[in-house]
Structure formats: C-alpha cells, structure tokens
Amino acid sequence: MNIRKYRVKSMAEGLARIKLELGDDAVILSTTKLHNDPEGATLEISVAPADDAIASVPSTRRIEGPRPEARLNAQSEPAPQPGVGDLMKEIGALRSEIRQMRLDRELRPPLAAAPAAKPRRQRPAYTDAIRAGVRLNRLSRVRSEVEFAREFSALYDSLLKAGVLESHLDELMADLMSAKTDEAMNIGRELERLVERRVETTEALWHQRTQLPQLAVFVGPSGVGKTTAVAKVAGQALFSAQRRVGIICTDVFKVGGVYQLETYADLYEVPFRVASDIREVRAALVDL
C-alpha cells in the first residue's frame, strides 16, 4: 500500500486536499505536529488510498508551493502496508485454510503399520494452525488501525461542523493520535479526557472551607447555556451540598429571559430577584 504524506497548515486544509486527490474513502494513518517548518506547515498527515491503486513509491506531498528536493532524502519512508480490500481477502483465505486443515485432520485415516519402514519425524499437526492464527491476528491489528483512522476523520468533520476552532481542533487531533496505544481504545472517551485536561476548572463554591456567602456570576453571549448552567449549579448546591441558594437575574433585555430563570427558581423554591443595574444588584444581594 502506498503511503502519502501531506505537510499542511491545518487539518481542514489537509482533509480538503486529501479528499480532492484521493477521494472520500482515503484513510488517515497518522498525524504529527511540526515545529519550525520553513514553509509554515504545522502538521504532517500520512494517508493511504482506500483502493490501493497507486503503485508509486511513498512520497511526501505539500499542500502549498513546491517542496525542496532535499526533503526527499530527509524523510524516512514508511513500510508498505496491505490495502483494506487485500486484508479482507487474505483474512478470508486464512479462515478457509484453517477450516480445511481441521477437516483434513478429522477425515485422515489411520496409517497402516509398516514394520520395515523407519518412522519419520513429523512436524506437529497444530503448527500450521498456530502460524495461520498469528498471521490472522497481525492482519486484524492492521485492520483495527484502518478503522481507527476512519473514525478519526469522521470525528474531526463532526467537531468542525459543531463550531470547534480549527487551531484547537488540530492540537486535539494530534494529541489524540499520539495517545493511541491500545487497539481497543474508545476514541470518543479519549477525546473527552483530553478536553478535560485542557479546560481549566475551579473547586465548587460549596466545597470551599468558609462560612461566608459565596457568589457565582454567569456571563456570556446569548445561546451558550448560561441559564441551564445556573439551574445545574443551583441544584447541586441546594440538594447535594445542602446550601441556601438565591438567584438574581440581570438579563432584562432577552425576551423570556427573566421568565425562564424564574421558572427554575420556583421549581427549586429559592428566592429570585431581578436587577437592571449595579445598584439593584447590591440591593438584591443584601435582600437575599
């Protein structure tokens, strides 16, 4: 299988070029971060054509501009790997071979005694089956790598459509490829773990050792989930931590903003106040 390498400035550029040249079924095998590249590339993507039809030697391709000739000798060429179609054919052939060996062993008649013949030392009958099993296991691991690369590409497209910044997404995907050490790794769970490590968090207010009232302010653009976050935090403080809770709403411009937050306050049976300026906020804090 021919491996192509693309040096790109972002994963989005790489995927666009890969799909244009190799089609939607091309498989991303690995992604490596680059530092101090003379042409400004930040990622190197290794790709395999799904149909395995390209017979040229693996080459290093660059998204923008011609590449220096010196890079041909500088890059280490990856060992050829079987294509997906060839893998499936060979797996099927191995399974048929194992079934035939088992059938021959069951149907083989007992050998007649030959007193004059010197017995020959034969290889154990199970040796061929063991070797075939080892080959089948090796092919299964390669197929697992191909399936992981496809999941990786689909996950990248999904997150990009969801609005994740390309700069953040490129770093996450590169870390995800580097973190793959287990064939059975759950790619979604591993990505969640990487995101949790990147997001800065603080200890919950009700876990802090103080008897003074604590204040949490939720600020952000419309539609990012402030109201839902207020409801969740208030519920945790009220029911899990057994703390007194009050809610102050300053969103007096959004249609239905006050009503939605007041509904949560009524459900929790906690005090609710509305403030349109800093003076009313101070008064509401004293009142609560």
Which CATH number belongs to the domain containing residue 244 in this structure? 3.40.50.300
| 238, burial (CB in 10 Å: exposed 0-12, middle 13-18, buried 19+) | middle
Going by pLDDT thresholds of 50, 70 and 90, the confidence category of residue 82 is very low
Split at pLDDT 50, 70, 90, the class of 60 is very low
Together in a domain, 52 and 153: yes
28-63 per-residue burial string, b: 16 or more CB within 10 A, e: under 16? bbbbeeeeeeeeebbbbbbbbbbebebeeebebbbb
In a domain, 115, yes or no: no
Query: Is 153 buried (19+), middle (13-18) or exposed (0-12) by CB count in 10 A?
Result: buried
Residue 57: what pLDDT? Answer: 39
For residues 44-69, average pLDDT: 54
Report the mean per-residue pLDDT for the chain.
73
Report whether pLDDT(246) > 90: yes
Beta-carbon contacts of residue 138 (< 8 Å; ≥ 6 apart): none
Same domain, 11 and 60: yes
Nearest one of 279, 214, 221, 210 to 254, comparing CA atoms = 221
Residues 136 and 235 in one domain: no
Burial 164-190 (b: 16+ CB within 10 A, else e): eeeeebbbbbbbbbeeeeeeeeebeee
Q: Of 180, 201, 222, which one is at a domain's C-terminal end?
A: 201
Q: What is the count of structural domains for the chain?
A: 2
- The pLDDT > 90 percentage for the chain reads 10
pLDDT of residue 182: 59
The answer to whether residues 142 and 23 belong to one domain is yes
pLDDT digits (tens, 9 = 90+) for 84-107: 556 556 666 666 666 666 666 666
Where does the pLDDT of residue 271 fall: very low under 50, low under 70, confident under 90, or very high at 90 and above? very high
User: Which range of residues forms the domain containing residue 139?
Assistant: 1-109+125-201
Query: Are 261 and 235 members of one domain?
Result: yes
Lowest average pLDDT, out of 75-79, 83-87, 126-130, 143-147, goes to 75-79
- 114-128: pLDDT as tens digits: 455 555 555 555 566
Q: Tell which wins on pLDDT, 74 or 111.
A: 111
Q: Is residue 24 part of a domain?
A: yes
